[in-house]
Amino acid sequence: MTHARNAAMVLVALLLVVAGAWTSWQTAQHVLLSKGREHGVLTVTGCNDETCSGRYVPDDPASSRHTVTIAHSVAAEKGETLPVVVKPGTDEAVRTGWGGGLHAWLPLGGALLLAAPLVGGGLRLVRTAWSVAGVGAVLLLGAFFAL
């Protein structure tokens, strides 16, 4: 019975961490592997509940794109300029630099925080749980202060 409980806790904790990493990678790949992608600067001109849009000035003058959108949570205020990379095949941009990179990994940080009680309480690996929670908290706090 104990082995089945431990196996279930391991599976749930792994599911949380893998789901967080998978969700994070969907955005983080554009920040981390940005070579060969379209780079530029976004000046925020307006926002709705989910996205902000604005005037886009590409680093490559051959680009015909003039406006892009970015997730509202990473865009600051109207008039602010942000370095961005454009997702291929879309008009959606992702913030680059430390702030954008850490923001992309927020789902993984949250998943690590959620998995920590399972590791500590369910598997009785208290030190490992504190380490997992610490990494998740550092990731969340780093993104908070970088943005």
Domain residue spans in the chain? 1-34+106-147, 36-95
In the chain, what percentage of residues exceed pLDDT 90?
67
Split at pLDDT 50, 70, 90, the class of 63 is: confident
What whole-number distance in Å separates Cα of residue 80 and Cα of residue 73?
14
Q: Does domain 36-95 have CATH number 2.40.50?
A: yes
Q: What pLDDT digit, counting tens, does each position of 90-134 carry?
A: 989 999 989 899 999 999 999 999 999 999 998 999 999 999 999
Q: What is the pLDDT of residue 12?
A: 96
